[in-house]
Amino acid sequence: MRLRESLLSRRKFFIGSVLGGLSMLVAYVLNPVVRFLFHREKIPLPGAVKVAMSDVEAIAPNSARYFEYGHLPGILLKTERGELRAFSAKCTHLDCTVQYEPESRKFYCACHKGYFDDKGVNIAGPPPSPLLSFGMERQEDGMIISYQGGRKSKG
Amino acid sequence: MNYLKTVKPVMACGIFFLCFSVFKVPELLCQEPEDAMTIAVTEIKEEGYEPPAGLSLSDVENARKLTNKRIYGLAVLWLLILLVIFLVRIQARDDEKLYWKGYYSGTNKLE
Amino acid sequence: MIDLKKEINERIGMDTILGLARKKMVPVHRHSVWYYMGGMLLFLFFIQVVTGPLLLFYYKPSADAAYRSITEIMVKIPYGWLIRSVHHWASNLMIAIAFIHFFSTFLLKAYRRPRELTWLTGMAMFMVVLFLGYSGYTLPFDERSFFALNVGTDMPGTMPVVGQYVVGFLRGGEMVGPQTLNRFFALHVGILPLCLMAVLFVHVVLVQVHGMSVPLSVEKKTALKKEKAIAKPMFPHLLLHDLVNCLILFGVLVTLAVLIPSELGQEIDYLKPAPEGVKPDWFFLWVYQILKWMPTYLFSIEGEIAGIVGLMLVAGFITLVPFFNRKAQRNELSPFFTMVGVISLLAFLALTAVGYFL
């Protein structure tokens, strides 16, 4: 069956085409705005950082020091036996910076009470995964700490 | 003095929060920083790493230059603008016609 | 199915608003074209309100970072050059159209009873817009900004009594320095836009309350012919016309921004002499030209002081013109004020041209 007249009124057609044209224009104009807003600064992390041996030796056993890995906070732990471990200090839960508690020998995140043991493994609270551990290499004059050599420490 | 009835609890709340803030603040400020929590490091640059060059005025002048892409973008913009104007004109003409016939456009109802 | 139209109407009373809009009529006559300026200004203000905060995503308002951040916006950030240039050109167009709006209102005596308050709010906005334009120039903190800051913040110092306080307030110290930038930043992105928005709201509401003013000459003519004045509904007839205007304006704006992107001068060097031919923005050229022509002494008053005080008196007279023009208040033609308007318009154009080309 063929209808005698269009179901679409003339007005609706006009209004629809005006709105359609306008939205095309708006979309075209928004493109540069969105590109402008979503620009991302690329700040590369350093390949590795070096800590002087004298500084390493100055750390008391069972304590930790923060270090700058580019714009990433790192934490260098010296265990009671003198073993050195380096982790990213960013909690794996919501990116707060963790601190070392010598009494309990745990890393503690104050934001949501998350705990990691001295190997960086998440043991209590909300953190979903272990702290990212950095690669370490002993040289004559210092320790080389590198992100690339790092891995997620295993439980 | 009826309004005091409402003012009083509000004032009480205010004073309560004031006291609370006064007692709370020193407690927070009293935390002394622990000594020497950080350790100095030197960055080792990767091979072939070049620090990003600073931007100069000539870069700005380059960025201001008219390129084919910009002309093309401008042309598309004008095309879209003219299209919308064309469509708007059609509707406006229809509105006009209806209006002089005694209809209010948009509703098709008699005024 | 949910009737969205009905649901919305129930909550915000769309019908009432539409009913009001439907009743609003705009007179149509040979001077109608000046009615469009307000809509265009509103549109340009909207453009500024959008592009300004966009620039704030990357602009760093401190003396040591501002210039570099503008360089980055121009070079590194995708379409940064375009956004900045659109902001720049929109401000220029806004000031140009504000001048047209101002002169047309003045010449058609649209300020007469009962629209005095609309005129006063308009004048207030005019001043704010000029100051916004000026303060915007200072933010890149390049060479031009530096001299604009020095000259611009020096001038109010010649005002009697309050001058030195104003200078101190604007500079944040004895001299133009790093601290001045932060003051102008606060003014440009915070205080002035807020003031403008508040006054704009009053202005627009007043225009809706009073309706469009019909020029006396047109009123007289229709009265003589005893015919009903022609009027069209604002919505949708004139609104569609406004839309077309704004679309063309937008096209012109982007074209200007692409063909002549805004510039960036040399970085500030406090020890460098002023470059040859350093001039204020075009909208202040007339002031600049008047001050340049002022003799050192005018009737034993220092020329600069005489100039500034004279300009302030003129500004005061123009602002209060609805109260001076008694004839217009009685709905009589006032050719004297038309002459004043025409002469000021010609003087403004001539001084700007002289300032620009000489």
Distance from CA of B76 to the nearest CA of C (A): 11
Query: Alpha-carbon distance C107 to C115, whole Å?
Result: 15
Q: Name the burial class of residue C255, with classes exposed (0-12), middle (13-18) and buried (19+) by CB atoms within 10 angstroms of its CB.
A: middle
pLDDT tens track for C288-323: 888 888 877 777 777 778 888 888 899 999 999 999
Which of B31, B34, B41 is the best mutation test for A, with the most CBs of A within 10 A?
Answer: B41
Residues 6+ apart with CB under 8 A from C318: C106, C123, C344
Q: Where are the alpha helices (DSSP H) in A38-127?
A: 53-58
Contact (Cβ atoms closer than 8 angstroms) between residue C181 and residue C148:
no
Q: Cβ contacts (< 8 Å) between A88 and chain B: which residues?
A: none
pLDDT band (50, 70, 90) for residue B50: low
In this complex, is the C-beta atom of C243 within 8 Å of any C-beta atom belonging to chain B? Answer: yes
The dihedral region occupied by A149, where left means phi > 0, alpha psi between -120 and 50, and beta the remainder, is alpha
C248 to chain B, any CB pair closer than 8 A? The answer is yes
Tokens representing A17 are 């085409």
> Using CA of residue C147, residue C99, residue C81, residue A37, what is the dihedral sign?
positive
Averaged pLDDT for residues C17-41: 85
CA-derived radius of gyration, chain B: 35
What DSSP element (H or E) covers A1? none
Distance between CA atoms of A24 and B86, rounded to whole angstroms? 14
Peptide bond into A126 cis (omega under 30): no
Q: Please enumerate in sequence order all residues whose Cβ is within 8 A of that of A2, keeping only pairs 6 or more positions apart, or say none.
A: none
Residues contacting A77, CB < 8 A, separation 6+: A63, A64, A84, A85, A86, A87, A100, A118
**C129 burial via Cβ count (<10 Å: 0-12, 13-18, 19+):** buried
Rounded to the nearest 5°, which phi and psi values hold at C210?
-90, -20
Residues of A in CB contact (< 8 Å) with C are: 25, 32-33, 35-37, 39
Whether the per-residue pLDDT at B33 is higher than 60: the answer is no
In a 13 Å sphere around the CA of B51, the CA atoms on its Cβ side amount to 4
Contact C261, C85 (CB under 8 A): yes
**Residue A103 CB neighbours (<10 A):** 6
- The per-residue pLDDT for A6 is 64
Which element (helix H / strand E) includes A147?
A: strand A142-152
Number of B–C residue contacts, CB under 8 Å: 68
**Collapsed DSSP state (helix, strand, coil) of residue A137:** strand
Contact: C74, B70; criterion CB under 8 Å: no
Cross-chain residue pair B60–C75, CB shorter than 8 Å: yes
For C146, the token pair is: 């530096």
Q: Please tell me which of the candidates C75, C241, C251 has its beta carbon nearest to residue B59.
A: C75
How many CB pairs lie under 8 A apart between chains A and B? 78
Is A37 in contact with C54 (Cβ distance < 8 A)? yes
Q: Using alpha carbons only, what angle is made at residue C22 by residues C17 and C25, rounded to the nearest 5 degrees?
A: 125
DSSP state, A97?
B
- Identify all chain A residues contacting C58, using CB atoms and an 8 Å cutoff: 39
C40 near A CB under 8 A: no
Q: Which residues contact C134 (CB under 8 A, 6 or more apart)?
A: C148, C152, C280, C281, C284
Q: Which residues of C touch B102 (CB under 8 A)?
A: none
Which range (C46-55, C192-201, C205-214, C268-277) has the least confidence? C268-277
**CB of C145 closer than 8 Å to CB of C268:** yes
Is the Cβ of A35 closer than 8 Å to some Cβ of chain B? no
Q: What is the pLDDT of residue A13?
A: 85
Nearest CB neighbour to A39, from listed C50, C78, C82: C78
Q: Which residue has the tokens 């007279």?
A: C317
pLDDT tens figures, C112-123: 888 999 999 999
Contact criterion met (CB below 8 Å) for A69 and A47: no
Q: Tell me chain A's radius of gyration from C-alpha atoms.
A: 28
Q: Does A108 touch chain B (CB under 8 A)?
A: no
Q: Taking 90 as the threshold, does the pLDDT of residue C29 lie above it? A: no
For chain A positions 52-91, those within 8 Å of chain B (CB to CB) are 52, 55-56, 59, 65-70, 76
Q: What confidence score (pLDDT) does residue B16 get?
A: 78
> What is the rounded distance in angstroms from the CA atom of residue A11 to the CA atom of residue B108?
9
Percent of chain A that is helix, strand, coil (3-state, to 5): 20, 35, 40
Q: Which residues of C touch B56 (CB under 8 A)?
A: 71
Q: Pick the residue of B35, B47, B84, B104 with the most A CBs within 10 A to test the interface with A by mutation.
A: B84
Helices C239-259, B68-100: inter-axial angle, 10-degree rounding: 170
The CA distance from A58 to A73, in Å, is: 20
- C199-226: average pLDDT: 87
- Chain C residue numbers touching B85 (CB-CB < 8 A): 244, 247-248
**pLDDT at residue C205 greater than cutoff 90:** yes
Residues paired with residue A77 on neighbouring β-strands, in sequence order: A64, A85
CB contact under 8 A, C232 and B99: yes
Strands (E), chain C: 25-27, 231-233, 297-298, 301-302
Average pLDDT over residues B57-81: 94
Residues B108, A11: C-beta atoms closer than 8 Å: yes
pLDDT tops 70 at residue B110? no
Q: Which residues of chain B lie closer than 8 angstroms to A22, CB-CB?
A: 84
Residues in B touching A47 (Cβ below 8 Å):
44-46, 49
Tell me the one-letter amino acid at B96. E
Q: How far is CA C261 from CA B111, C132, C143, C161, in A?
A: 50, 20, 18, 42
Bridge partner list, C231: C27
Give me the DSSP letters along C226-278: T-PPPEEEIIIIIHHHHHHHHHHHHHHHHHHHHHSPPP--PBP-TTSPPPTT-
Amino acid in the structure at residue C10 = E
Angstrom distances, CA of residue C50 to CA of A30, A93, A106, C47, C184: 11, 36, 49, 5, 19
Tokens encoding A45: 């992390």
- Choose the closest CB to B84 out of A25, A47, A65: A25
pLDDT-based confidence at residue B1 (cuts at 50, 70, 90): low
pLDDT at A155: 36
**Nearest of C104, C105, C106, C94 to residue C130 by alpha carbon:** C94
Q: Which residue has the tokens 């050109």?
A: C89
> Greater confidence, B84 or B47?
B84
Residue, of C67 and A151, whose pLDDT is higher: C67
Q: Which residues contact C265 (CB under 8 A, 6 or more apart)?
A: C140, C142, C143, C144, C145
Cα–Cα distance for residue pair B84/A20, rounded to 1 Å: 9
What is the full per-residue pLDDT of chain A (155 aa) written as tens digits?
A: 666 766 667 778 888 899 999 999 999 999 999 999 999 887 778 888 888 888 888 888 888 989 888 888 999 998 888 888 999 999 999 999 999 998 989 999 999 999 999 888 999 889 999 999 888 888 888 888 887 655 444 43
Q: How confident is the model at residue C196 (pLDDT cuts 50, 70, 90)?
A: very high
Asked if the C22-266 domain carries CATH number 1.10.3720.10, the reply is no
Query: Any idea where the domains of chain C sit in the sequence?
Result: 22-266
Using an 8 Å CB-CB cutoff, list chain B residues near C251.
77-78, 81
How near does any CA of chain C get to the CA of A40, in Å?
9
Q: By CA distance, what is A9's nearest residue in B?
A: B108
CB A103 within 8 A of CB A118: no
Prediction ipTM score:
0.87
- The length of chain C in residues reads 358
C-alpha B40/C-alpha A56 separation (Å) is 10
